[in-house]
Amino acid sequence: MNQITPAQLAAWLADAGRHKPVLLDVREPWEWQTARIEGSRHIPMRAVPARLAEIEPAQEVVAICHHGARSQQVAMFLEKNGFSRVHNLQGGVDAWSRTVDPAVPLY
């Protein structure tokens, strides 16, 4: 699993010549409703094992949570289940809000 900073993710998303990753937000529903990165896909951490088939193993996946701990656990789970292109967003949505997009609320 790779670690990716908010700035690196922002550059990736802005790069028209690069295929966009699946932004897998694993936070609780109330967190996702409060603040999220545009275009993210919400599958709460506890639901990931049951919904694994909804994620294509060949795609680049960036796991996202509030500060990066839950998403790192999900990223490791994905790797153990055959996903080879997995990234964890360092600092999570909180770091994204602070360094990339202040329009995303802090909580």
Nearest-angstrom CA–CA distance, 79 and 95 = 24
Nearest to 63 by CA among 97, 95, 22: 22
Answer yes or no: are the C-beta atoms of 65 and 48 closer than 8 Å: no
86 is an active site residue: no
Nearest-angstrom CA–CA distance, 107 and 102 = 12
3-state SS assignment for residue 62: strand
Answer yes or no: are the C-beta atoms of 61 and 85 closer than 8 Å: yes
Q: Which of 26, 65, 74, 89 is catalytic?
A: 65
Catalytic residues: 65
